[in-house]
Amino acid sequence: MFWCIMMTATLHRQEFEMRINSIQESEAVGQLSELYSSIAGARGGVSDVLKLHSLLPETLKDHFELYKTLMFGLRETKISRKQLELIAVTVSACNKCTYCIAHHSVPLKQILKNDELLKAIQVIDLTVLKSELDPLDYDFVLFAEKLTLKPYEVCDDDIGKLRGSGCSDEQILHVTLVINYFNFVNRNVLALGVELEPDHETKCR
């Protein structure tokens, strides 16, 4: 289902505008222009999920730095890129954020090399995921789903289960921060009407 929605979003992108004003690269000056240039160099372009911050450039800077830290910088926790992207797509699927599902399915597809498994992640098909994912990765899916949909029900047992699967407290913190980060991003996208860019795959480094 989500795969079809993503394709529809791509085809009809030009029919939509963000719900607030945003500043494009050609219009940016000063700090914003510098930020756009830096992001474009690192990412292959500036995604609309970042442009939505353009009226408040300091928030764009802080958002991008947090993204880089959570997804690339914390190598010492040994949470893999596969696991991070798995969490990103799981959280986005819970929130029905087709924009973020599409963006983070690009690297996850390259890592998994398994289209059926990717589709199962995109719709959180727990039957398939339990049989196809490593036990720890499956535990991350369950934790991401619960923290996203029912944060008030997260309890000591949930953290204990991750510890029992071999996670250190540093890893649990990292995973929790990533789950909460994608909830933040999903809600920005959904609230402000960010639509999928036709060339989004070039910006998914």
Give residue-wise pLDDT tens across range 57-74: 999 999 999 999 999 999
Burial of 36 (0-12, 13-18, 19+ CB in 10 A): buried
Q: pLDDT digit string (tens) for 5-15?
A: 443 333 333 33
Q: In this predicted structure, what is the pLDDT of residue 201?
A: 65
Separation of alpha carbons 193 and 187, rounded Å: 10
Q: Structure pTM? A: 0.89
Q: pLDDT digit string (tens) for 132-142?
A: 999 999 999 99
How many residues are recorded in the chain? 205
